[in-house]
Structure 1
């Protein structure tokens, strides 16, 4: 697709990304404030169905991270492919873009996490910060995980590889995955596509060595590569006459969406669940791209773009704040009720407002920082596609 066509796709991809980030945040707030489904008591009728749907929505955070991986592969990996094909690839420019994008939110998020965790330990020390409250979202003693070594380890994208995620901020785990995928793909693709100079081959060897060292990240890399594959297939699908005729039928996105939702519902907790979710979203992503569907309502389109714009900030900053509020106000998780749902909603809205403030101060200035570094932005990097 040309640039005009590509811009029409972004509001749908923005909506997907914004919903995924929101569901991650919702799941964490629920886990910190409201008891698990098994402890929620018997519920029948319409109320029971509604409750099951609520807990189901709150349980798909991990699946949403897989969605992020594919979107990142499509946007970042796809840009790498285009630039190498055009012959204007540069490691220096690419790394400047990627590191600016990652660090401009990560570094403030680490320091803000230190503030919230230290304040919580001093003012609300108890089971939430000790990791003994029983919720699935926070199960470590945070006081042991706030040192300078852990801070620098996370800033170097080595969390889960050489150290734990910093403080209470468990969601940082996926950022290490993204960083290494950003390095592995151009190193390996360059060895196949570019002139095989000693430097290019050395990068490929380094990628293979680190992949063997960090083998726990390789499965996620295969999901990331599905996003790259979607970008590679995107233009070819619309050039095939039969598929082009089908692509005009926007309703095809609906069965693709059902395939994705079925992959989540039917394979959860299975050994192959992550792969099933990745393949299900790959089908949905191809349907979105081939039909060139976009959001019809202008207001919803702008809202999706806005929410996607600060979803990276939301993902990196929400948990320490939500934990602090839960430890200070909730003390013990609450049963499902209008009051507990209302409190969870207020905390969720507070996380959004807080993340938007972080976005306004830091993330929205990404392009400005890149300009100061003298590096133009990657063509496909206008959206926040990094989680």
Structure 2
């Protein structure tokens, strides 16, 4: 990993963290719609653990933010360091990544939701959404809501589209993508006054539009960027550690992250303190895995396989909710008829998740996996149209 460029280096462990985080979000929604609430479930230590581990979706999103801050922050800082950063290329790269999945995900949400409502008009999940956590009582499919979701103001100025509640985090991500480079340029000593004024203007406008809730979670994203800013020094530190020390640090970081996620879910804390604690733990997890592991044999193949699923994690995240709702309407149409947490029903839930995972893989092949090719196509078109604009910018 050390010999690869910052922009192309792949880290299998961090890929696994991303894939597991997406899975935790999906697990949480499947549990909410398919299984009875913990209060009415048969109590016991195993049940408590299962419900705890399937209740970490919100905390997993915070881990996503830290990972995003690490990778996107690393890319932005690398470009600024080499003098190749420009707002137009950066915006094009980020929006291509987001829209290539988001636009078809919104269309799929509309189609799946409408088919589900027509096929299962008496299903509680469609007609009595207020009974379920995370399901809107009155889902919005208006043109304004659709456009607002494309403009990344869902849950800020418009509702999220249809039953696709997880889209709220994409709005947060977008504003972090915008605010971070503006923050860097605003405080960059070598920035020209024009660039600094433009950056401050973006910061003020972005903060005003995105609002308090978005800004309160920005520190989580920035923690990932902070790790990225010190990546080389951290990597050297990890390389100098004895294998036993490194194993201990990494094991501790994993347990700390999971424990903090559970603690922040189970404890009522003021403001966003629980999210910040989760972000700190996640940043430490990223820190100790800045240098990837080098497993060989069966362990290496298993790591590579799970790492590969991260290539479709964005698709998995973006389309799973309408599919979970649809399958819940088909299989468990009544809120009171949700399953107990036993082995047969857990096996059925696993089949549901595998089916959604396969659908996400197919969706991702048509969208997410076309990101780099689409970026290259757009970049060539922009260079051909305005070649003089692609000189190194001054800051």
Shared fold (TM-score, shorter chain, > 0.5): yes
The counterpart of 1:318, out of the listed 312, 317, 320, is 320
Kept in 1: contact 2:294–2:300 (CA 8 A)? no
Q: Deviations over 1:55-98 (max 9, x none)?
A: 11210111110010010000001111111011111111111111
Q: Distance in 1 between matches of 2:91 and 2:31?
A: 37
Alignment match, 2:391 = none
The counterpart of 1:334, out of the listed 335, 339, 351, is 339
How do residues 1-80 of structure 1 correspond to structure 2 at under 5 angstroms? 2-4=2-4, 10-42=11-43, 48-80=44-76
Alignment match, 2:125 = 128
Kept in 1: contact 2:53–2:262 (CA 8 A)? no
Is the counterpart of residue 96 in structure 1 residue 96 in structure 2? no
Kept in 2: contact 1:18–1:307 (CA 8 A)? yes
Q: Could you tell me how far 1:225 is from its partner in structure 2?
A: 0.3
The counterpart of 1:253, out of the listed 250, 254, 263, is 250
Q: Could you tell me how far 1:121 is from its partner in structure 2?
A: 1.5
Alignment match, 1:383 = none
Alignment match, 2:293 = 293
Q: Distance in 2 between matches of 1:284 and 1:375?
A: 38
Pick closer, same or farther for the CA change 1:201–1:351 going to 2, 3 Å: same
SS in 2 for 1:273: helix
Q: Distance in 1 between matches of 2:69 and 2:242?
A: 23
Kept in 1: contact 2:13–2:292 (CA 8 A)? no
Q: Distance in 2 between matches of 1:375 and 1:140?
A: 46
Pick closer, same or farther for the CA change 1:20–1:238 going to 2, 3 Å: closer
Gaps of 5+ in 2: 382-395
Q: Deviations over 1:244-292 (max 9, x none)?
A: 5336533120112222223223333332211111111112211112x54
Alignment match, 1:137 = 134
Q: Distance in 1 between matches of 2:295 and 2:5?
A: 14
Alignment match, 1:385 = none
Q: Deviations over 1:328-378 (max 9, x none)?
A: 2211222223342232112111110110010111111111111221259xx
Q: Could you tell me how far 1:51 is from its partner in structure 2?
A: 2.1
Q: Deviations over 1:95-127 (max 9, x none)?
A: 111111101100000000000111111121232
Pick closer, same or farther for the CA change 1:151–1:247 going to 2, 3 Å: farther
Pick closer, same or farther for the CA change 1:310–1:292 going to 2, 3 Å: closer
Pick closer, same or farther for the CA change 1:153–1:247 going to 2, 3 Å: farther
Q: Distance in 2 between matches of 1:3 and 1:151?
A: 43
Alignment match, 2:393 = none
Q: Could you tell me how far 1:175 is from its partner in structure 2?
A: 0.1
Q: Distance in 2 between matches of 1:307 and 1:345?
A: 16
Pick closer, same or farther for the CA change 1:188–1:375 going to 2, 3 Å: farther
Alignment match, 1:186 = 181
Alignment match, 2:262 = 265
Q: Distance in 1 between matches of 2:242 and 2:179?
A: 33
Tell me which moved more, 10-19 or 229-238: 229-238
Displaced runs of 4 or more, over 4 A:
5-9
Q: Distance in 2 between matches of 1:294 and 1:217?
A: 37
Count of matched residue pairs: 366
* TM-score with structure 2 setting the length: 0.87
Q: Distance in 1 between matches of 2:232 and 2:242?
A: 12
Q: Distance in 1 between matches of 2:201 and 2:92?
A: 22
SS in 1 for 2:293: coil
Gaps of 5+ in 1: 43-47, 377-387
* TM-score with structure 1 setting the length: 0.89
Alignment match, 2:144 = 149
